[in-house]
Structure 1
Amino acid sequence: MENMRILHRKIRIEGLKKHYTFLHITDTHIACFGKTETAVRAEYAKERRRAFSIDGIAPEKRLQTYIEYANEARVSGVLLTGDIIDFPSPENLAVLDDALAALKVPYVYTPGNHDWSYFDNYQTEDAVRCCRPLLRRFCGGDEDFHVRKVGELTFAALDNSMDVYRPQTDSRLKALLGSAEHVIILQHVPLYCDTLHEDTVKVWKRDITMGQSGIVLDESADRITELLTAAPSVRAILCGHLHFSHEDLVGGVLPQYITAFGSLGEAALFDIGG
């Protein structure tokens, strides 16, 4: 479609009986606001909207284009890995409601660091208590950790938007990996990889991935990395956050796919088969 670039990626999983296609959308940073915002927030939103209206195309228009593509292409599902909205204004949430309601295929959504935070209340206890739950309706009723099965594939959406995994992620993930066969992990922030470090620092001036030489706020990144790389049922990790596309192997064994930010006009189409 016009004004949209599709990055084609393949995942081959031995034993799959059917073929699937999934559209991966991340980091559109929609910045819609109304008269209820404070003057300071309104000015910030205007700046963010200008910054993410690349080539003169508003972020919400980008999302609409992706949704239309998914419906027309009849993909198996849509995977959204956070920062679809830039802050949780009523207007942004309404845009997201309308966009996802228009989808004719299943979707899985996991939060990013911006979806639920305003810049002047960024990831505070108040934001966690009052704003994170606003995403619950998009996250299968649980923004911390939720699972959706599409055909033979199991998608596990893990919230690491605060650069840590939420409490009980370890135990819930262990239970899932003990029963599911073909698991694909969705999360916003990528896990650290040696091959990703240089490119991340080049763009962000520091490593904003999780673990090792990236951001380490607790031991959860190490624990989850160990769980994922040791589990034969985990087939891939899909994420965003960095605003550029990249492919790596976490721990040298587990494919990790990062898709560029959606406000740039790019999404990834995953061809998954045996």
Structure 2
Amino acid sequence: MKRTNLRVFQAILLTITFTFLFSACGDSASIKKEDITTYKIRIPGTEESYEFLYLTDTHMIVPGDKENQEISDYEKQRLPVFTMEDVPSPFLQFPQWIQYANEQDFDGLLLGGDIIDYPSASNLEYLKTCLDDLKIPYIYNIGNHDWTYPWEYMTEKGKSEYLPLFNSYMENNTSIHTKEYEDFTIVAVNNSSNQITPDALTRYKEILAEKKPVILMLHVPLYTEAVLHKAAAVWKGGVVLGGGIHGGIYPDTVSTEFITLTTAKDSPVELVLAGHVHFALKSDIQGEKNIPQIIGDAGYKGKATIIQISG
């Protein structure tokens, strides 16, 4: 078979497979209410009530990837990491959450990063198939695994070839993008490299200057004593941005300014959502203004978070 025809055949087979899998597993009846944590957040001046479904760190991997041997070998290595007893595999869970989000008619689906485990063609195609079935708005923030492989981790090649694959999910701006609501703005900022980019900081300043309440989405949490203490126990190292003197990641000049602006006395930021550390926690980021930070538990465990916003 000619190479072109083979690729066409593989694409058709992949589409049929995804369609079958999606229809077979997109049943929200298997979602356990006890696996959903609900937080109620008050934002002064909010006139309406809002409810969002927050998913992070699902680490979806489509099994049987034949893109190349290196990716196939990596798949075999990574699949057991996210396989848990009595919990469906992440790529089977995700359509269930999509169906659940549609049924509950949330005001939006918030995706906190590491939704796929690496940017293979199969994983990306499956992600698109799932999100195409979503009937509510969503905002996608990127994690360190979404766009990297270990052999191209945060490299220039990764930034030029893999990061742009997420443009269509992030309003063609993988550094920072927004979702507007009547009473607030959700701002997704890419800190998957453990720092904030200068471009993101520039746009962030413009958004904050509007003085409209902000819900800030990050992948890597900002430092609080509680999250660093727990993360250090789980990960044996600092995996939060800030608090370098305490064992966290030292922020560079740009990230330091970003954190200072976020917690300034006149900051419109009312809530920070994060993931990355694979456990659930709510604690305050300390500054001139204390900001509640909610960390969502890992989706591959079957966990999700509901955020309820009111005035």
Q: Deviations over 1:124-152 (max 9, x none)?
A: 11001110000111112111111111232
Partner of 1:244: 279
1:257 corresponds to 2:294: yes
d(CA) in 2 for partners of 1:49 and 1:108? 26
Q: TM-score, normalised by structure 2?
A: 0.84
Q: Deviations over 1:43-101 (max 9, x none)?
A: 22122122213235121111111111111111000000100000000111011101111
Partner of 1:193: 224
Segments of 5+ residues of structure 1 without an aligned counterpart are: none
Q: 2:146 aligns with which of 115, 131, 139?
A: 115
d(CA) in 1 for partners of 2:101 and 2:255? 32
Amino acid in structure 2 at the alignment position of 1:9? Y
Q: SS of the counterpart of 1:11?
A: strand
Which segment drifts farther, 161-170 or 239-248? 161-170
Amino acid in structure 2 at the alignment position of 1:115? D
Q: 1:220 aligns with which of 245, 250, 254?
A: 254
d(CA) in 2 for partners of 1:193 and 1:107? 27
Partner of 2:108: 77
Rg larger in 1 or in 2? 2
d(CA) in 2 for partners of 1:70 and 1:151? 21
Q: How does 1:151-230 map to 2 (within 5 A)?
A: 151-213=182-244, 214-216=248-250, 218-230=252-264
Q: 1:233 aligns with which of 268, 271, 287?
A: 268
1:29–1:86 Cα contact (<8 Å) kept: yes
Bigger relative CO (Cα 8 Å, ≥ 6 apart): 1
d(CA) in 2 for partners of 1:94 and 1:152? 34
1:154–1:180 Cα contact (<8 Å) kept: no
1:101 corresponds to 2:132: yes
d(CA) in 1 for partners of 2:275 and 2:109? 14
Q: SS of the counterpart of 2:263?
A: helix
Partner of 2:79: 49
d(CA) in 2 for partners of 1:54 and 1:247? 25
Q: TM-score, normalised by structure 1?
A: 0.96
**What displacement does 1:41 show?**
2.5
The runs of at least 4 consecutive aligned structure 1 residues that moved more than 3 Å come to none
d(CA) in 2 for partners of 1:248 and 1:217? 20
Segments of 5+ residues of structure 2 without an aligned counterpart are: 1-28
Q: 1:138 aligns with which of 169, 172, 175?
A: 169
Which segment drifts farther, 246-255 or 212-221? 212-221
Which segment drifts farther, 205-214 or 46-55? 46-55
Partner of 2:6: none
- Identity of matched residues, %: 35
Q: SS of the counterpart of 1:156?
A: strand
C-alpha change, 1:157 and 1:13, in structure 2 (3 Å) is same
| CA RMSD after TM alignment | 1.4
**What displacement does 1:218 show?**
1.9
**What displacement does 1:180 show?**
4.3
2:240–2:249 Cα contact (<8 Å) kept: yes
